[in-house]
Amino acid sequence: MRADRLVATLLLLQARGRVTAADLATELETSVATARRDLEALSAAGIPVYPQPGRGGGWSLVGGARTDLSGLSAPEAQALFRLVGPAAAVSDEAKTALRKLVQALPKTFRADAEAAAGATMIDPTRWGERDRSRPARVDELQTAIVRQRKVRLVYVNGRRERTERVVEPWGLVDKDDVWYLIAGTANGRRTFRVDRMLDAEPTDEPSTRPDDFALAEAWAEVVGEVEERRSRTWATVTIATRFVPILRNHFGRHCHVEAESDDRSTVRVGAPTALDIARNLAGWGSQVQVIEPEPVRAHLARIGSELADLYRAR
């Protein structure tokens, strides 16, 4: 977990005074790019970590080669705990790391740092659902990423097609408690849903990851591609202005207000197909009027007719 790496990175800096991204990658069994991103994350969070370019350079803690955690100011310690705190709510490993870090801080900082860590938490369970835990397969895949080992996947895609392949695992993403693996394949970079994996077996074969690979950037591209597919069809509708926030909640980023008045608004909504739009709007009844396109209007007319036939009093 990233929180564990951030703590380990800081402790390594305190012990050695100065490290390069390559040194850190070797020590923590990550890629050089990951080590560099972790160092930059510490710096961005307010921890006094800075790079020194040139020969013999590297990353250092402000204050000298032997600076330990007691050299952090109170705001800097709180900044670090704000990074680790939310992860500790759902990860025993991060919780252990947090405890160790508390003991490394001077007593005068501990109360504020612990308060910062407890100010935010993560509850991955949606309303009305039972408690859920992180899939065990995520830990296996994470280990394969860290140790740079290829993974043999047995996978079922959205069309129920089963495939088997060996992939190079590059990164994991948790999006609304659905986990995705970004991996290199013979056909280029691909994204796999962890819950569609029938099997994921790490191999002894070494895996490589492009030096310029950045997980956040790769995921942003995936999100852009998915959102584009989810908004291939657009419809113009009118709705009472007071209901626009509810409609926006249904369609998310695929809902744009074009004209608004105190009484009624004109809104554009998007979805993969005209039928998808009609299904989302059917429950609104006459409260939403579709201006165009005609296929959405036709689907709504058919849905309305089917419901009327099914529930018409006999």
Would you say 198 and 141 are in contact if contact means Cβ atoms under 8 Å apart? no
**Domain stops at, among 194, 228, 262:** 228
Asked if 67 and 99 sit in the same domain, the reply is: yes
* Residue pLDDT, tens place only, 232-267: 899 999 999 999 999 998 898 899 999 999 899 999
The answer as to whether 42 is a domain residue is: yes
The answer as to whether 71 is a domain residue is: yes
The model carries a pTM of: 0.56
**Boundaries of domain holding 296:** 233-311
Domain CATH for 188: 2.30.30.520
Token pair in block for residue 83: 């990074």
Asked if 90 and 15 sit in the same domain, the reply is: yes
Domain CATH for 8: 1.10.10.10
The answer as to whether 245 is a domain residue is: yes
**Domain stops at, among 117, 146, 168:** 117
Domain count, the chain: 3
Give the closest residue to 207 by CA, choosing from 280, 153, 262.
Answer: 153
Give pLDDT, residue 198.
Answer: 94
- Mean pLDDT, contiguous 10-residue spans, the chain (314 residues): 64 76 83 85 75 76 52 61 65 70 62 64 65 76 90 92 94 86 93 93 92 88 87 94 92 91 94 94 94 96 93 75
Q: Helices in 68-205 by DSSP H: which ranges?
A: 74-88, 92-104, 107-117, 136-147
Query: What is d(CA 264, CA 240) in angstroms, rounded to the nearest whole number?
Result: 4
Asked if 151 and 111 sit in the same domain, the reply is: no
Asked if 196 and 175 sit in the same domain, the reply is: yes
Q: What DSSP element (H or E) covers 188? A: strand 188-193
Asked if 100 and 205 sit in the same domain, the reply is: no
Token pair in block for residue 131: 């408690």
Asked if 7 and 87 sit in the same domain, the reply is: yes
Query: What is d(CA 277, CA 300) in angstroms, rounded to the nearest whole number?
Result: 9
Asked if 69 and 153 sit in the same domain, the reply is: no
Query: What is d(CA 137, CA 262) in angstroms, rounded to the nearest whole number?
Result: 51
The answer as to whether 88 is a domain residue is: yes
**Domain stops at, among 117, 144, 159:** 117
